[in-house]
Structure 1
Amino acid sequence: MRYLLAGPDDFSLKLKLASIKASLGDPAVLASATSVFEGAKLKPGEFKLTVDALPFLTPCRLVVVTGLLARFSAGDGTLKKASKIDDPEVFASAITNSPPSTAIILIETELSRNNPLFKYLADKVEVHEFPMLDKPRLKEWIGRRVMDAGGAITPMAINLLVQYVGADLWAVAGEIEKLVLFAAGRPITDNDVKTLVGYAGESNIFALVDAIFETRLKTATETLENLKVKGLSASYVLSMLSRQLRLVIQYKELKSRGSKDLEIRRKLGLLADFVWKKTQDQAARFTMSRLKDVYSRLLEADLAAKTGRMDEELALDLLVAELASGAPLTPVLT
């Protein structure tokens, strides 16, 4: 049981990962026999000991490794290093010679057939690729998703949803959930999409990001209140802020590697022109250091809310006030 899940469509990839885990038995039992590693830091000896270990009181052992193939690629398919600790053949041998009781899942954001490690594993692993959906496939996906949720949607509504949100399936799935509830049994129309999704909500998220980075406290707090008045929950606002910051960080990183705009837009799945242009603008105006600091702080606030250490609305209010005031970044709660 050896799998390679690769591609920028993180939503579909995570669904496949969950499906594989479900096929391996009881989730509670499997959790006790699961090991997760970062490929960039993984030592060959540690990896081999883990995959060779027989499961105890469980039918199988699960080993998940993220970014192992990327470790051996210089971006053009050539080998980065030749040292023994970074020899792809060592890892390939550990994977192919692992016992049948060990399930191994390799996760990559992208896959090159020229990758040195992939050349060893190509016919030894079950490969599943998850590219970003183009517009025709995205429209089909939306139709199926709405149907699976027990709803119906008009073609015009699908087109508008694609225009507003693009190919970020996490965001699209969230909007579909809201739209199905809002429609309450009738088909979702383009007016529903304009009411609940629209550019207005997206614009306010961008305005909030701008105000935070430009330390315009009054504007930031007013924009946040406006989002609340529109009925957006604190958890939704936090997720949208995190999503936008993540897009801007990814854009800057890809740009620094020399990637062209067309390639970056495809990798990030930004089919919506409005979101693409705002992401470009914010990436040009904000430093990577500040972006990462704020993103890290957002994740801390989100975790504090989800674990019950702080009310989510209070966590969001304090976070925006702190960030927009330009105060030093400190943890929400320890």
Structure 2
Amino acid sequence: MRYLLAGPDDFSLKLKLASIKASLGDASVLATATSIFEGARLKPGEFKLTVDALPFLTPCRLVIVTGLLARFSTGDGTLKKASKIDDPEVFASAITNSPPSTAIILIETELSRNNPLFKYLVDKVELHEFPTLDKPKLKEWIGRRVMNAGGAITPMAINLLVQYVGADLWAVAGEIEKLVLFAAGRQITDHDVKTLVGYTGEANIFSLVDAIFETRLKTATETLENLKINGLSAGYVLAMLSRQLRLVIQYKDLKSRGGKELEIRRKLGLIADFLWKKTQDQAARFSLGRLKDVYRRLLDTDLAAKTGRMDEDLALDLLVAELASGAPLEPLSA
């Protein structure tokens, strides 16, 4: 059981991840036999020992690795390094020779067919790709999502929702949930979208990111509290923070490689003008090094919450307090 989930649409990707995990058995039992690694820092020996280990009191072992393929490519298919510890064949061998009792899921935000590790794995993994939806597909997705939620929506309302929110399916799904509840059985109209959907949630996420990087602790904690008051869960806020930081990092990376603004915007799926301009602004004001440090720390927190090491709300509160205080970032203890 070997899977490769790749693409910038992490909403659909995570739905697929949840589906795979559900197919492997009871969630509480599986959690005790799940290992999650960040590919950039994973040692080959540690990885091989983990995937080769037989499950204990569980039907299978689950190993999830994020960003392993990205570790081996510069973007043009050439290797970053030639040392043994960064030899893609070593990892490919561990994956392809793993026992049937181990399920391996590789997760990537981008996938190049020229990636050295992908060339070894192309016929050995079940590939699922999740590209950013263009406008026509996004509109179809919204229509299906509303229908599956038991509601109905006018074409004008769909167009306005796309204009306000863009292609971020996390945000769109949240707005659809509110709209369906608000409409209470009738068809959702463009007036409903104007009334209920705006830039408040997104603006607060941007304000939270700004406060974190500008080490304005009081503003950061107050903004987080407002998000909670507005009904946003800790998991949703973590997902939105992660998404925004990833967009800013991707923007800076693409820009540094000579990317044109229109092409970068298309690639990032930032249809809404508001989201695009705020991402440009944050990319211009914050250093890439600090962005990456905060992003890694955020992923550590998300992992701690998802694996039950920390309560989700407490994990988010501590994360924001730590980041906005400007303190040096240390990995979470196991």
Q: TM-score, normalised by structure 2?
A: 0.80
Give the CA deviation at 1:177: 0.8
Q: 1:65 is matched with which residue?
A: 65
Q: 1:103 is matched with which residue?
A: 103
Q: 1:198 is matched with which residue?
A: 198
Contact 1:270–1:276 (CA<8 Å) still a contact in 2? Answer: yes
Question: Are 2:182 and 1:182 aligned?
Answer: yes
- Three-state SS of the structure 1 residue aligned to 2:64 is strand
The alpha-carbon distance between structure 1 residues 79 and 329, as it changes in their structure 2 partners (threshold 3 A), is closer
Contact 2:215–2:326 (CA<8 Å) still a contact in 1? Answer: no
Of stretches 242-251 and 273-282 in structure 1, the one that deviates more from structure 2 is: 242-251
Q: 1:9 is matched with which residue?
A: 9
Question: Are 2:79 and 1:79 aligned?
Answer: yes
Deviation by residue 1:82-110 (Cα, 9 ceiling, x = unmatched): 22222111111111111111111111111
Of stretches 235-244 and 268-277 in structure 1, the one that deviates more from structure 2 is: 235-244
Q: 2:131 is matched with which residue?
A: 131
The alpha-carbon distance between structure 1 residues 308 and 132, as it changes in their structure 2 partners (threshold 3 A), is closer
Of stretches 126-135 and 246-255 in structure 1, the one that deviates more from structure 2 is: 246-255
The one-letter code matched in structure 2 to 1:99 is: P
Give the CA deviation at 1:241: 6.4
Give the CA deviation at 1:66: 1.0
Q: CA separation in 1, counterparts of 2:34 and 2:293?
A: 31
Give the CA deviation at 1:34: 1.2
Q: 2:230 is matched with which residue?
A: 232
The alpha-carbon distance between structure 1 residues 148 and 93, as it changes in their structure 2 partners (threshold 3 A), is same
The alpha-carbon distance between structure 1 residues 95 and 245, as it changes in their structure 2 partners (threshold 3 A), is closer
The alpha-carbon distance between structure 1 residues 120 and 168, as it changes in their structure 2 partners (threshold 3 A), is same
Q: CA separation in 2, counterparts of 1:52 and 1:201?
A: 44
Q: 1:119 is matched with which residue?
A: 119
Q: TM-score, normalised by structure 1?
A: 0.80
Consecutive unaligned residues of structure 1, counting only runs of 5 or more, are none
Contact 2:207–2:223 (CA<8 Å) still a contact in 1? Answer: no
The one-letter code matched in structure 1 to 2:125 is: V
Q: 1:50 is matched with which residue?
A: 50
Give the CA deviation at 1:175: 0.7
Q: CA separation in 2, counterparts of 1:271 and 1:172?
A: 12
Q: CA separation in 2, counterparts of 1:63 and 1:299?
A: 16
Q: 2:28 is matched with which residue?
A: 28
Consecutive unaligned residues of structure 2, counting only runs of 5 or more, are 330-334
Give the CA deviation at 1:137: 0.7
Give the CA deviation at 1:67: 1.1
Q: Which structure is larger by alpha-carbon Rg, 1 or 2?
A: 1
Note the aligned Cα RMSD (angstroms).
3.8
- Identity value in percent: 81
Q: CA separation in 2, counterparts of 1:55 and 1:309?
A: 31
Of stretches 200-209 and 189-198 in structure 1, the one that deviates more from structure 2 is: 200-209
Give the CA deviation at 1:270: 0.5
Contact 2:72–2:80 (CA<8 Å) still a contact in 1? Answer: yes
Give the CA deviation at 1:289: 6.1
Of stretches 231-240 and 270-279 in structure 1, the one that deviates more from structure 2 is: 231-240
The one-letter code matched in structure 1 to 2:113 is: R
Q: CA separation in 1, counterparts of 2:83 and 2:296?
A: 34
The alpha-carbon distance between structure 1 residues 290 and 95, as it changes in their structure 2 partners (threshold 3 A), is closer
Q: CA separation in 1, counterparts of 2:237 and 2:76?
A: 37
Q: 1:160 is matched with which residue?
A: 160
- Three-state SS of the structure 2 residue aligned to 1:8 is coil
The one-letter code matched in structure 2 to 1:232 is: N
Contact 2:89–2:120 (CA<8 Å) still a contact in 1? Answer: yes
The one-letter code matched in structure 2 to 1:75 is: G
Deviation by residue 1:281-307 (Cα, 9 ceiling, x = unmatched): 34224444676788799999998x964
The alpha-carbon distance between structure 1 residues 31 and 234, as it changes in their structure 2 partners (threshold 3 A), is closer
Of stretches 3-12 and 55-64 in structure 1, the one that deviates more from structure 2 is: 55-64
Q: CA separation in 2, counterparts of 1:63 and 1:131?
A: 24
Contact 2:165–2:172 (CA<8 Å) still a contact in 1? Answer: yes
